[in-house]
Amino acid sequence: MLNAVLSWPSPSSVDALKGARVFEGGARVRAPELAIARAVLRTNARITPIGALELACDTVRAARRAAIPPDFLGATLLQESAYDPRAISSAGAIGIAQFEPGTAEEYGVDPFAPADAIAGAARVLASYVRAYRDRFDDPYAAAYNAGPGAVAYYGGIPPYPETRAYITLIYERWMRIGSYERTGGDRRGAQKRSG
């Protein structure tokens, strides 16, 4: 009975207890790893709870090494691929972090290796945070989406509808991850990005 109650869609040959979504619901959590794992599970049903926790731990470690908020990195990766390591976009972007092949090579990242791609995405975002530190509009996510050249050309967030929608979605995901936590991360400017 317990096995049936805790089951979730999985191959019939797999014990349903192994697919229990132990991180998906419940009270707010203290650890960003658990909040990000919860967001991953709510976004990508193909990832197991243990897999989501492993990806979330990699995300938090990489974000802390790069000195960026873990929830922000998690939100970016959720938006890019829903943490799917096999994701390939129609434009040819690859893996969890949706690296273009040239960018992956520039940063020395294997885009199909989850931990490597997560660490690479953290380094890329951190470079944008450093580059745009004094900007009012904080175009970090815009640079990740449209490229730093577009941000430089427009002197801030480009007027592209896709990029503006992307930024809104990143900050909505960032706030949602934060809502799973008892103590939130730095969400400065999140309110001003709603339009």
Catalytic residue chosen out of the listed positions 33, 80, 172, 181: 80
| Rounded-to-integer distance, Cα 96 and Cα 124, Å | 14
Taking the CA atoms of the chain, what radius of gyration do you get in angstroms? 17
Beta carbons within 8 Å of 49's beta carbon, 6+ residues apart: 19, 20, 21, 22, 23, 24, 37, 41
Concerning whether 24 is annotated as a catalytic residue, the answer is no
Cα distance from N-terminal residue to C-terminal residue, the chain:
48
CB burial of residue 114 (10 Å; 0-12, 13-18, 19+): buried
Estimate to the nearest angstrom the gap between the alpha carbon of 6 and the chain centroid. 27
What distance in Å separates the CA atoms of residue 41 and residue 36, rounded to the nearest whole number? 9
Catalytic residues: 80
